[in-house]
C-alpha cells in the first residue's frame, strides 16, 4: 500500500517553497543578478551541506528507510569540487569557509543522522528534487548571467547519469515510487514533512547571509526594487489542480 509520501511532502512544503522563492537572494537570482563574487560563496556553502548529507546517507546505505532513497547518481559533492576549483583555483579547500548559517545547517544534518536517521529522507528530498527541477533553471540563468565557458562553472546542476529532461522526469518518478514504498506510519510522515520544512528554513538562512554581497554588486536601490514584492510560489500556483494532475506533472520543488 502506497504511503503517498511524495504528495504529502509536496503539499506539506508548499508554503516553505514559496518562502524560499521569495528570499531576496532568489528574487535577484531569478532576475539574472548572478556574479561570481557571491555565486561561488553559495557553491562553497552547498559543498559543506552536501558533504554532510552524503556522508550521512553513505553511513545508512543499508538502513531500511534511508537506504531506499540512496541514489549515488544524485550526489553533488564531487561536482561541487569541480565548480570550486573553477571559481577559487586549485587551492580552493583553503579558500572556502563555513558561514554561520551553513554550520547550523550541517549540524542539523549530522544531528538527525545520529538521532533519527529516517529524517535524512526530508533533507535528501528538499535538496535533490530541487536540483533536478528548479535547479536546472538556475543553471541556465547562471550560465547566461556570467557568460561562462562551455562545461565549466555549473557542475552543481549537471547530472551526468541523468542528462536529458526525459531522463530527469523518469528518475523523479522513480524517486517518488521509492518514497511511496517506504513503510512509514502517519507519525513518521508528519515528522518527515516537518523536517523538510525545517530544511527549507535552513536553506533560506543560508542564502540570506549572501544578501549583502548581492547589494554590493547592484546597490541598495536596485536591490530594494527587485525584492520588495512577494509572489505566489510555483508549487502554490498549482494548488487547485487535482491529485491526478499533480501526479502527472513534473515536480517544481
User: At the fourth CATH level, which superfamily is domain 5-248?
Assistant: Heme oxygenase-like (1.20.910.10)
Long-range contacts, stretch 178-181, CB < 8 angstroms, 24+ apart: 178/68, 178/69, 179/3, 179/5, 179/6, 179/9, 179/69, 179/121, 179/125, 180/2, 180/3, 180/4, 180/5, 180/6, 181/2, 181/3, 181/68
Q: Given a cut of 70, is residue 238 above it in pLDDT?
A: no
Segment (H or E) for 204 = helix 186-208
Selected residue with higher pLDDT from 251 and 226: 226
Residue 230's pLDDT is: 72
What are the domain boundaries of the chain?
Answer: 5-248
pTM over 0.85? The answer is yes
Average pLDDT, the chain: 90
100-148: pLDDT as tens digits: 999 999 999 999 999 999 999 999 999 999 999 999 999 999 999 999 9
Residue 248's pLDDT is: 34
71-106: pLDDT as tens digits: 999 999 999 999 999 999 999 999 999 999 999 999
Q: Mean pLDDT across the stretch 27-54?
A: 97
Q: Given a cut of 70, is residue 253 above it in pLDDT?
A: no
Residue 242's pLDDT is: 39
Residue 232's pLDDT is: 57
Q: Mean pLDDT across the stretch 169-182?
A: 96
Instruction: Give CA–CA dist 81/178, Å, rounded.
Output: 28
Residue 92 and residue 169 in contact, taking contact as beta carbons nearer than 8 Å: no
Burial class (CB in 10 A: 0-12, 13-18, 19+), 52: buried
Residue 229's pLDDT is: 77
Find, among 199, 189, 247, the residue nearest to 5 by Cα: 189
Angle, nearest 10°, between helix axes 186-208 and 100-115?
Answer: 160
Q: Given a cut of 90, is residue 234 above it in pLDDT?
A: no
Amino acid at each position: 500500500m502506497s504511503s503517498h509520501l511524495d504528495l504529502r511532502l509536496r503539499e506539506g512544503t508548499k508554503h516553505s517553497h514559496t518562502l524560499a522563492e521569495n528570499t531576496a537572494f532568489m528574487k535577484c537570482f531569478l532576475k539574472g543578478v548572478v556574479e561570481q563574487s557571491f555565486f561561488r560563496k553559495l557553491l562553497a556553502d552547498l559543498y559543506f551541506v552536501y558533504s554532510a548529507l552524503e556522508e550521512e546517507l553513505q553511513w545508512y546505505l543499508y538502513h531500511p528507510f534511508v537506504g531506499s532513497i540512496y541514489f549515488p547518481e544524485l550526489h553533488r559533492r564531487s561536482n561541487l569540487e569541480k565548480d570550486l576549483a573553477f571559481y577559487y583555483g586549485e587551492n580552493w579547500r583553503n579558500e572556502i569557509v563555513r558561514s554561520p548559517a551553513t554550520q547550523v545547517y550541517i549540524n542539523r544534518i549530522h544531528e538527525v543522522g545520529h538521532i533519527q536517521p529516517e529524517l535524512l529522507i526530508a533533507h535528501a528530498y528538499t535538496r535533490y528534487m530541487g536540483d533536478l527541477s528548479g535547479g536546472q533553471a538556475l543553471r541556465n540563468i547562471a550560465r547566461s548571467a556570467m557568460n561562462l565557458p562551455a562545461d565549466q562553472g555549473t557542475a552543481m546542476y549537471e547530472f551526468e547519469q541523468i542528462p536529458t529532461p526525459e531522463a530527469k522526469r523518469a528518475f523523479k518518478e522513480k524517486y517518488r515510487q521509492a518514497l511511496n514504498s517506504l513503510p512509514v506510519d502517519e507519525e513518521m510522515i508528519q515528522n518527515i514533512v516537518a523536517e523538510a520544512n525545517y530544511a527549507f528554513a535552513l536553506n533560506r538562512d543560508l542564502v540570506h547571509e549572501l544578501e549583502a554581497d548581492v547589494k554590493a554588486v547592484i546597490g541598495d536601490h536596485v536591490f530594494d526594487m527587485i525584492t520588495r514584492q512577494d509572489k505566489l510560489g510555483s508549487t502554490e500556483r498549482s494548488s487547485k489542480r487535482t491529485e491526478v494532475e499533480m501526479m502527472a506533472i513534473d515536480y517544481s520543488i
